[in-house]
């Protein structure tokens, strides 16, 4: 008789506001036997994990990784091979710079059944909570998502900064606080207008969300003055100018 493995769910928890967690994600959280979670979902969502579940903290918060990615893969596979259903809880969406694709590949290689449960990506939700639509007929008909923190083992960047500098749309950078100076410097080096509006949004969609606004040529200085820290999303483009108009509705909730 063939061995019966458990099933793995790669679940996106959304950007942080617990009310943005999908109904399916919440149902699975309430019923899955093992939960392997990041810190990025935030305490409010992590607290939804029932006491009956085995909880495994993978860390992954602002550079603090309690488990390496290989160790996370090993834990997920081991628990599934014990016959347990495993929920891998990730911030945002599993396949949007969440390494969910890598985890899925490992599961396929081991013959373990899995299902992806998409989450609302912070690339869209966080700017929205700050009054910044990533597309707008008058400001941007295109949007691109890039990582501000590439694999450190790469010999050279995979990002084409020259092309990005010419991109006439909104640029959303994940995990870009540490490399902010380099990122904006590369854009200006290749001709991006130094006066292009930029917003840094910390702890997006949560009660302590904070928005810092500047332009390419001064955003690094402004960020240092404000003490901007990860996790944060960087938005570059003319849509940032709408923050002053559309962001007012959030003034009573966010700084």
Q: Which domains does the chain have, with CATH numbers?
A: 8-117 (3.40.1010.10), 122-250 (3.30.950.10)
Q: What is the pLDDT of residues 33-86, one digit of tens each?
A: 999 999 899 999 999 999 999 999 998 655 555 889 999 999 999 999 999 999
Find the helix packing angle between 219-226 and 180-189, rounded to 10°.
170
0.75 surpassed by pTM: yes
**pLDDT of 1 above 50:** no
Percent of the chain past pLDDT 70, that is, above it, reads 90
- Residues with Cβ within 8 Å of 240's Cβ and at least 6 positions away in sequence, in order, are 132, 197, 198, 199, 213
Per the structure block, which two tokens stand in for 229?
Answer: 């820290």
Q: Which residues of 144-180 are buried (b: 16+ CB within 10 A; e: fewer)?
A: bbbebbeeeeeeeeeeebeebbebebbbbbbbbbebb
Known active-site residue 79: no
**What are the DSSP E strand ranges found in 46-137?**
54-59, 86-90, 114-117
Q: Which of 38, 90, 93, 192 is catalytic?
A: 38
Spatial distance between the Cα atoms of 95 and 119, rounded to a whole number of angstroms: 9
DSSP assignment string, 163-191: HHHH--SEEEEES-STTHHHHHHHHHHTT
Known active-site residue 151: no
Q: What is the pLDDT of residues 126-183, one digit of tens each?
A: 999 999 999 999 999 999 999 987 655 555 678 999 999 999 999 999 988 999 999 9
Q: What is the pLDDT of residues 184-241, one digit of tens each?
A: 999 999 999 999 999 999 999 999 999 999 999 999 999 999 999 988 999 999 999 9
Known active-site residue 38: yes
Q: Which of 17, 93, 96, 175 is catalytic?
A: 175
Q: Within 10 A of 124 (CB to CB), how many other CB atoms are there?
A: 19
């Amino acid at each position: 008789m063939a061995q019966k493995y458990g099933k793995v769910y790669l679940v996106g928890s959304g950007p942080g506001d617990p009310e943005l967690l999908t109904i399916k994600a919440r149902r699975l959280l309430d019923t899955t036997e093992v939960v392997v979670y990041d810190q990025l979902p935030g305490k409010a969502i992590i607290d939804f994990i029932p006491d009956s579940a085995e909880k495994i903290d993978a860390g992954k918060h602002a550079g603090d990784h309690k488990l390496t990615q290989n160790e996370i893969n090993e834990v997920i596979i081991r628990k599934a091979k014990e016959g347990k259903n495993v929920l891998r809880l990730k911030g945002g969406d599993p396949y949007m710079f969440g390494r969910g694709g890598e985890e899925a590949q490992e599961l396929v290689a081991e013959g373990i059944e899995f299902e992806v449960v998409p989450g609302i990506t912070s690339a869209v939700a966080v700017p929205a909570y700050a009054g910044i639509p990533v597309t707008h007929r008058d400001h941007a008909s295109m949007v691109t998502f890039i990582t501000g923190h590439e694999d450190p083992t790469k010999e050279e960047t995979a990002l084409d900064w020259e092309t990005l500098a010419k991109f006439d749309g909104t640029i959303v950078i994940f995990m870009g606080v540490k490399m902010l100076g380099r990122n904006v410097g590369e854009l200006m080096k290749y001709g991006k207008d130094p006066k292009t509006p930029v917003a840094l949004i910390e702890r997006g969609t949560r009660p302590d969300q904070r928005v810092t606004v500047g332009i390419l040529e001064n955003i690094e200085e402004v960020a240092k003055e404000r003490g901007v820290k990860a996790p944060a999303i960087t938005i570059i483009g003319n849509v940032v100018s709408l923050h002053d108009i559309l962001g007012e509705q959030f003034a009573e909730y966010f700084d």
